[in-house]
């Protein structure tokens, strides 16, 4: 099994990973998987992910090692000619690229969440069930409610009903 860095045409180089990381942190708040439900909290115009299929590319497995999620992607001999990589299995992590239009956002149990040209998509292993996607939009904006209090040291306090002046007498 080769590392994704062995195929920069498909999985990107160090600069691509750095750009993908900065972009992911700006757009994606978090991804949480609880059983079959995957909750995606974001601040973009994304819709529910759609299933992606690439010619000559297949997600074989996902897992975790040393508290870091990974995916194994198989590049087959039937890959497009534009992919200048040797056929075989490649170890892929979050922030790796997937072609020129894709970036890996999250490695889940049995699936890989990808931003593909501004839309969310996913790859699945052959034995995985499709996830149930829950999209949560999070605004980067918030309102600050301010309560303004005005006072002056030189202004006498307003008279309360118990401190009123006596009424003027009429003659």
pLDDT score of 158: 67
Choose among 28, 66, 68, 33: nearest CA to 44.
28
pLDDT less than 70: residues of the chain: 139-143, 145, 147-166, 171
> 38: Cβ–Cβ under 8 A, 6 or more apart, which residues?
31, 32, 108, 111, 113, 131, 132, 133, 134
Using CA atoms of 138, 49, 125, 55 in order, give the dihedral in degrees to the nearest 10. Answer: -130
CATH number for the domain formed by residue range(s) 2-137: 2.30.30.830
Count CB-CB contacts under 10 A for residue 54: 19
Give first-to-last CA distance, the chain, whole Å.
109
Which two structure tokens, joined as six digits, stand for 114? 């990808």
pLDDT score of 146: 73
Choose among 94, 88, 128, 93: nearest CA to 111.
128
pLDDT, tens only, 123-134: 999 999 999 999
Choose among 102, 109, 104: nearest CA to 62.
109
Distance separating alpha carbons of residues 163 and 96, to the nearest angstrom: 75
């Amino acid at each position: 099994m080769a590392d994704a860095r062995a195929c920069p045409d498909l999985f990107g180089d160090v600069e691509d990973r750095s750009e993908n990381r900065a972009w992911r942190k700006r757009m994606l708040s978090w991804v949480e998987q609880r059983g079959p439900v995957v909750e995606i909290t974001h601040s973009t115009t994304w819709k529910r992910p759609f299933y992606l299929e690439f010619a000559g590319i297949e997600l074989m497995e996902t897992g975790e090692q040393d508290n870091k999620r990974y995916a194994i992607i198989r590049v087959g001999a039937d890959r497009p000619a534009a992919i200048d990589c040797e056929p075989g299995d490649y170890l892929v992590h979050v922030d790796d690229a997937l072609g020129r239009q894709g970036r890996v956002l999250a490695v889940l149990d049995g699936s890989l969440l990808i931003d593909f040209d501004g839309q969310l998509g996913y790859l699945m292993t052959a034995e995985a069930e499709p996830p149930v996607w829950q999209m949560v939009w999070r605004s980067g904006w918030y309102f600050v409610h301010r309560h303004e209090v005005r006072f002056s040291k030189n202004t006498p306090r307003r008279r309360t009903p118990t401190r009123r002046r006596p009424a003027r007498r009429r003659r």
